[in-house]
Structure 1
Amino acid sequence: MDIKTQLFTLLQQKEAEMIKIRRHFHENPELSFHETKTAQYIADFYAGKDCEVKTHIGGGNGLLVDIHGGKKGPVLAIRADFDALPIQEDTGLDFSSKTDGVMHACGHDGHTAYMMILADSLIELKDHLPGTIRIIHQPAEEVPPGGAKGMIEAGCLDGVDHVLGIHVMSMMPLGDVLYHKGSVHTGRATFKVVLQGKGGHGSTPQDANDTIVAASQFVTAVQTIVSRRIDPFDTATVTIGSFDGKGSANVIKDSVTLEGDVRIMKEETREIVEKEFKQILDGVCKAFGIEYDLDYANDYPVCVNDEQTTEMVAAALTEAQIPEIKHLVECGPQTPSEDFAYYAKERPSCFFFVGAHKEGTPMYPHHHPKFYIDEDCLLIAAKSMGAAVLHYLSEGV
């Protein structure tokens, strides 16, 4: 029996355990930078196994698990994240979150469950493998500066040659595995603007500097950045997600707070958007005679898949002939942002996707209170990553 067949057999035998682990995490979610019990559960899982485990990476909740093969070879890192979101679950699942206002609404519970069982299976087979597999169990993907950045600063990529990652996708069909070469996820910036004017009464508007009117002008004007300053063949969005100007009907407010985010697919576009954003804000505030305080934070970079590494993953999945995979799809770039981008900046990497929506069932996007993944995607993820790992270790990129 060849090594791939042995690995797939082990994963198949452990599928029920994989699902059980995923449901435990789903019932017990923890927010970014607070995943202490989750981290302990992961550490306990590896206790006594033939691998090298490091906890509290960078002073946080991250873990590294090194699986040293029986022969010399390259070092491949594979990453899964494990934080949840501040969302009240509304799925009605038997294993719904037990924590009010916190939910695994992005699939990170599934990422960690499949990765733990894959790691366990690779440990059993490690004497037949060349090189080293480093499992990166990463906290805090959802909240900037992100767990990836801190783990890299703590040395998680020391000695690593390449990095691979998977995201399960609730809006992609179950049975599809998807990939894209080049820029695969947008980069991001977030902002908060407090506009400060002079309040007054609705009966005497001439005595006030109305921040609601000024803020409304800004919301409209800032949309011209994308429509008039960005190349139509490029990608950018500017979103005002919060406009806080609540007050009495007959009172002119002296202060309004706006919050939102920016997405870009090229790092050079980031500079254009920020420059134009600040220029428009300056102009509007000068026109209305008001002041502002701006917090504009560039965080996650554009996530760029290395061409050769991505071709290796696609070749591995094609050759593996995994029966659960119906289609291998070149999906094009995806508009969300991902802190896997930090790994991809440091090492040649590939971040790819596993569909999790079963045909005929309701479909909800990530970060939705009814977010749901079909658990059959976990075995597909484990086999897909396992196939890529074996191909990489035996043939390289």
Structure 2
Amino acid sequence: MQKEALQALFPSMVEHRRYLHRHPELSFMEKETSAFVADRLRGLGIEVTSGIGGFGLIGIIRGSKPGKTVALRADMDALPIQDEKQCDYASLMPGVMHACGHDGHTSVLLAVAEYYSRQKEDLEGEIRLIFQPAEEVCPGGAVSMIEAGALKGADVIYGVHLWTPIPVGVAGSAPGPLMASTDEFFIDIQGRGGHGGMPHRTIDSVVAASALVLQLQSVVSRSVDPLNPAVVTIGSIQGGTAQNIIADRCRLAGTVRCFDEETRALIRTRIHEMAEGTAAAYGAEATVDYMLGYPSLVNDNQEFERFYETAATAAGLLPEISPKIMPAEDFAYYLREIPGCFMLVGAGNPEKDIIYPHHHPKFDIDEAAMLHAAALLIAMRDSYCAEHESSSGA
């Protein structure tokens, strides 16, 4: 019955996803996307609260019978990337595109909303549909949603990510840590500028910064326990204005990814120490601006077990235990509050040339994956409620 119902909803899922793909909006700017979602939820007779944490919104489906409250989350924001795909649903917004699948996530949750809205008479408990803004940019939208009460009274939360590194028909997750924490840092090296032909009268900030780039590569290899995955990446170095001028100032920008708080704190300390020490060795000064971002995403072990069983038996997917991955997700904040599971649903398909990684200008998904994602969310919710109905009845 569930399979037939979802198959009937699939055309609207595709229609919604393609509309959103044509009309992407950046983080904290999802005004029209939020209105689009709210209109469709209200059209289904679903209670909607909007304007949460900016453009976030929550839809509430209350069953006619008492039971558990299950939260389901989708993110809505796009990225500042120019869409290079040649298709009729390519982005119409210059320099903005859905390059991570959030349009698909939103469409999946709209389909789940419609599926359950037709079952209110037989439904137990409450389904809370969380449409979240600003996952792509720290501090993200999850914290403000939580502060506004998105999880108040909720018993468990589930979320999916359409994931092109995994083929369609496969889903992955892990017990405990799945996705890394993410921090950002900016290091300003202050030297003394001057003529390129008279370096002895200057303090070369570019040379000091270059040395620091190399020094920072040793943080993971020589300071972090090799059994603890971690990454320190310098993504930008900016300094100087001309080939014959020694720059007085140079800026480095980078990111840190890891899975436990002890390693996270160690790396932060070492970056400060190395920046100050290396700059001083060249007669320069370093100022470090270090910003803590999303924590590591840690799944509840029991809810992971539910995923592993449910994905195969109820959602028709091949489940896998995913290795830890270094991309970060602010779904982590929800999992710090209540039990839950975040699941990667395969959306890659080389036969359709869907091979490009997330955040790539030619990123796309096999839309059949949305059907799998919706089935998985429904199966997880139904399994949780059936288990707790059984235990309470005993």
TM range (shorter): over 0.9
Q: 124-133 vs 298-307, which deviates more?
A: 124-133
1:393 corresponds in structure 2 to 385
Amino acid corresponding to residue 205 of structure 2 in structure 1: T
Match of 2:187 among 182, 193, 201: 193
1:233 corresponds in structure 2 to 227
Q: 224-233 vs 240-249, which deviates more?
A: 240-249
Instruction: Mark the CA change 1:321 to 1:119 in structure 2 (over 3 Å): closer, same or farther.
Output: closer
Which whole-Å deviations, capped at 9, do the CAs of 1:108-129 have from their partners, x for residues lacking one? Answer: 0000001101111111012212
Q: Secondary structure of 1:92's partner?
A: coil
1:358 corresponds in structure 2 to 349
1:153 corresponds in structure 2 to 147
1:81 corresponds in structure 2 to 75
1:340 corresponds in structure 2 to 331
Q: Secondary structure of 2:104's partner?
A: helix
Q: Does 1:15 align with 2:6?
A: no
1:76–1:134 Cα contact (<8 Å) kept:
yes
**Matches for 1:279-298 after TM superposition, within 5 Å:** 279-298=273-292
Q: Distance in 2 between matches of 1:11 and 1:82?
A: 21
Deviation at 1:334?
1.6
TM-score, structure 1 normalization: 0.95
Q: Does 1:205 align with 2:196?
A: no
2:176 corresponds in structure 1 to 182
2:302 corresponds in structure 1 to 308
Deviation at 1:265?
1.1
Deviation at 1:75?
0.7
Which whole-Å deviations, capped at 9, do the CAs of 1:12-48 have from their partners, x for residues lacking one? Answer: 1010010000000000000000000000000110124
Deviation at 1:372?
1.1
Deviation at 1:49?
2.7
Instruction: Mark the CA change 1:321 to 1:139 in structure 2 (over 3 Å): closer, same or farther.
Output: closer
Percentage of pairs with the same residue = 42
1:51 corresponds in structure 2 to 46
Amino acid corresponding to residue 358 of structure 2 in structure 1: H
Q: Which consecutive residues of structure 2, in runs of 5 or more, have no partner in the other structure?
A: none
Which whole-Å deviations, capped at 9, do the CAs of 1:224-266 have from their partners, x for residues lacking one? Answer: 1100010111011100000112421121111111111000111
Q: Secondary structure of 2:108's partner?
A: helix
Q: Distance in 2 between matches of 1:56 and 1:97?
A: 25
Q: Does 1:28 align with 2:23?
A: yes
Match of 1:62 among 56, 59, 74: 56
Q: Does 1:116 align with 2:107?
A: no
Amino acid corresponding to residue 127 of structure 1 in structure 2: E
Instruction: Mark the CA change 1:225 to 1:162 in structure 2 (over 3 Å): closer, same or farther.
Output: same
Q: Distance in 1 between matches of 2:254 and 2:177?
A: 23
Q: Distance in 2 between matches of 1:223 and 1:241?
A: 13
Q: Distance in 2 between matches of 1:122 and 1:147?
A: 25
Q: Secondary structure of 2:119's partner?
A: helix
Deviation at 1:130?
1.4
**Matches for 1:259-270 after TM superposition, within 5 Å:** 259-270=253-264
Alpha-carbon RMSD across the aligned residues, in angstroms, is 1.2
Q: Distance in 1 between matches of 2:130 and 2:101?
A: 16
Q: Does 1:328 align with 2:323?
A: no
1:139 corresponds in structure 2 to 133
TM-score, structure 2 normalization: 0.96
Q: Does 1:369 align with 2:364?
A: no
2:167–2:348 Cα contact (<8 Å) kept:
yes
Q: Distance in 1 between matches of 2:42 and 2:68?
A: 25
Q: Does 1:37 align with 2:32?
A: yes
Instruction: Mark the CA change 1:321 to 1:95 in structure 2 (over 3 Å): closer, same or farther.
Output: closer
Q: Which consecutive residues of structure 1, in runs of 5 or more, have no partner in the other structure?
A: none
Q: Secondary structure of 2:131's partner?
A: strand
